[in-house]
Chain A
Amino acid sequence: QKEVEQNSGPLSVPEGAIASLNCTYSDRGSQSFFWYRQYSGKSPELIMFIYSNGDKEDGRFTAQLNKASQYVSLLIRDSQPSDSATYLCAVKVGNFNKFYFGSGTKLNVKP
């Protein structure tokens, strides 16, 4: 079992719609949760960080964390073609200070 699981996609949504990306993790010791965006041919860049249960909003992005169910999600409102990328979920386990990355979900936003 992988530490972090994501649906590889591709997830296709029309421009202006809400894109919902999901991630589950296996280690209950996970304490920090991150969403990275990676454009084709580029390095991953951080877009959201969350460590408390509930929702965290930043502009069009909302991260949701449910530690009891061990899942974290990312909602992108008013999706734009420029949001088309691969989204990587990452968790950090306190004892090891190591990042575990999911394999990523490819998002396509169609104009």
Chain B
Amino acid sequence: GAGVSQSPSNKVTEKGKDVELRCDPISGHTALYWYRQSLGQGLEFLIYFQGNSAPDKSGLPSDRFSAERTGGSVSTLTIQRTQQEDSAVYLCASSLTGVGRNTEAFFGQGTRLTVV
């Protein structure tokens, strides 16, 4: 697609339920990133994929969080047994590999997760 697409845009779930958030990166982008942003706060890094592997998952806050990427494309972030503190906007970004020109991260519109 033309940009990074995330679904759903909004998700309200009950405490204790599992949720899946989806990210469809820009075609050809090998790097994919998940961030979390609470209201009025900065970006909190969660996990980074290079292809289908995740060389850095250091930002996942607990073992309730997991992510996978298949076919070097779509990624799914799963949160099990959701808690109220998981409420935030979850942002996905993708980029080309490398550090030169045109390797910036492009962000999706985010998924606003509300745990009630």
Contact = CB atoms under 8 A, between A and B. Distances in A.
Interface of A: 31-32, 34, 43-46, 49, 51, 88, 90, 92-94, 96-104
B99 A31 contact: yes
Nearest to B3: A43
B42 A104 contact: yes
Sorting the interface of chain B by its residue count into under 10, 10 to 19, 20 to 34 or 35 or more gives 20 to 34
Contacts of B50: 97
Interface of B: 31, 33, 35, 41-43, 45, 48, 50, 55-56, 91, 93, 95, 97-101, 103-110
A32 B97 CA distance: 12
Given A43-B107, A96-B55, A99-B95, 16 more contacts: A31-B99, A32-B100, A34-B105, A43-B108, A44-B43, A44-B91, A45-B107, A88-B42, A88-B43, A90-B105, A92-B103, A93-B99, A94-B99, A99-B105, A101-B45, A103-B43
B33 A99 contact: yes
26 contacts: A31-B99, A34-B104, A43-B108, A43-B110, A44-B107, A45-B107, A49-B104, A51-B101, A88-B42, A90-B105, A92-B103, A94-B99, A97-B48, A97-B50, A97-B98, A98-B48, A98-B56, A99-B105, A100-B45, A101-B43, A102-B42, A103-B41, A103-B42, A103-B43, A104-B42, A104-B43
